[in-house]
Amino acid sequence: MNPNVEAALIGAVVATLGWLVTYLQQQWSKRRDQERDFLRRQLEEFYAPLFALIQLKNYVQQVQDARMERIEPGDRWVKTLRYFEDNHIVPAMKAISEILRTKSYLADDWPKSFDQYLEHEAKSVALYLYWRTTDIPGDVVVLPMPDAILNDVKVRKECIEARLRKMYGFDPTDFRTSKRDLPPVPAIT
């Protein structure tokens, strides 16, 4: 074979291989960026706000319960209940349900506690609002908030955080305890 043709063929093969490798690297990088973007969306739009709202609801519920134990049934008791429910509990419950209903496509999976929570919220809020607007006395009996929901969200949130740290090149075992050169925090005077 002619050496010029041979050199041209070798050059063409090398160029084609170079193009193929570059193309595959770009595709891999694009997929990795898309995965990282989706994980960030899962964390920022679903798991982190859900976790924070469930914690908020639980903390406020604890404060409400402690207050309610010290108040005798009557007008003060009703005012206290209405204050916490109207300003904190019901809005938090609705916000949790809104995330579960509108951002479900961001969930890794759908544990049983999510459906249990949606049922709990639908019944609890409806019965509370009924009692609130009618002033008809009586107990409002509903399913309790599922105990597992906080842990279900926390486990999935932490898993996504670990995957993101790994994708960004952070060592998950050293991330929070690493000795980085950070400036000292100034004292508040």
pLDDT score recorded for residue 174: 60
Cβ pair 108, 42 in contact under 8 A? yes
Threshold 0.85, pTM exceeds: no
Cβ pair 117, 92 in contact under 8 A? no
Digitized pLDDT (tens) for each residue of the chain, 189 residues in all: 788 888 888 888 888 888 888 888 888 888 999 999 999 999 999 999 999 999 999 999 999 999 999 999 888 988 998 999 999 999 999 999 999 999 999 999 999 999 999 999 999 999 888 888 887 766 666 778 999 999 999 999 999 999 999 988 886 566 555 555 556 656 554
pLDDT score recorded for residue 187: 58
> Residue for token digits 């003060």?
76
